[in-house]
A and B are shown apart, each in its own frame.
Chain A
């Protein structure tokens, strides 16, 4: 995981989470289809300006199959009055719904992938320690992000080892299903034996001690960060009030 350079990397870790959370809420609060479409456009511009434009491209790859399926299910096979698009006719209300839902997914995916691209585990742990918040929750998130690629690599190694021992995983689904146990059992049993060593290491490092931790290098919490974090909840509440009573 290589942190991106630019504004996103300089921002306080909590600011990035606040922006992503606000985008997710606004995507469903703003009136469709214009609101979600405008929000998606704004998020893409923000991602480009913050130096995490690649996240917008990755989000496109994530969303493209969903957009196609939305178009098919809601617009092409949808019911109600239809419009002629030249080659095919589509349901008007279905097309609006597909556009709104597609833009919602695009906005949320872009914001969250931008967060991941700029996420620095050590800065996040330092920010949590500086606040005096529960270190356990932050540790769980960071330890998981570090464990995931390791276990994936181990699964690939077990797969190769079982192939080398003569196990064949091709053929019909039942035959492929039989390959599950020889691949997953060693993975899980290995994980459980590793837990013992890790638990001992965590205990000796005093992770269960109930004392405040001193952050090594706490990230700067600038005025702009604080303004964004305080302003976003107000923006979400204002949008909700406008939608409900406006």
Chain B
């Protein structure tokens, strides 16, 4: 890894964690804990993006217990799809970012649902689990309820993340973007 990536990766992981604080302060019912992962994937490609995703989950797990470590697979999936989005110009405009956010949200939601159901018996974060319980009371099986609540949460969350990262990338001064090969491709500058 180059010194630039060695400097970028820890900071991007810290961004993932710090945005959790911002979201808490704003009282928003989303996580936005993949902003650093998506940004790094778009700026520096798959190796750095996957490193940020895995490290984010590992450090979060160190703070809160390794129980959340299996969700590292979701971070890896998001990093790889963000690289694909960057390569296809997915951050060039707000509508493109929203469409890619929805696609990534769907994929991430399906994987999250599988992990939640098979590893955690459907009980993960408090908000999502509350929705799961509500849906089971409405007649859905636990598997269906976990899938619906995970996909619903991730669609909103990842759309916001992609819209936010797209806005940040488009606001990047050309001097800064020029230091990252993948950023130029993502923005088609």
- A residues with a Cβ closer than 8 A to B are 20, 24, 59, 62-63, 65-66, 69-70, 72-74, 77, 97-98, 101, 105, 108-113, 115-116, 119, 136, 139-141, 143-148, 150-152, 154-156, 159, 169, 173, 176-177, 179-181, 183-185, 187-189, 191-196, 198-200, 202-203, 207-208
Contacts and interface: CB of A to CB of B under 8 A. Distances in A.
Nearest to B30: A177
Nearest to B19: A184
A10 to B, nearest CB: 20
Nearest to B66: A112
28 contacts: A59-B65, A69-B123, A69-B126, A69-B130, A98-B121, A112-B65, A113-B65, A119-B62, A140-B6, A140-B51, A146-B10, A148-B17, A150-B14, A151-B11, A151-B15, A155-B21, A155-B22, A180-B22, A181-B164, A187-B18, A188-B15, A191-B11, A192-B176, A198-B7, A199-B4, A199-B7, A200-B3, A208-B6
B171 A173 contact: no
B66 A20 contact: yes
A113 B126 CA distance: 20
Consensus secondary structure, chain B interface: helix
Contact of A73 (B2, B4, B129): B129
Contacts of B106: none
Consensus secondary structure, chain A interface: helix
Interface in B96-151: 120-124, 126, 129-130, 132-133, 136-137, 142
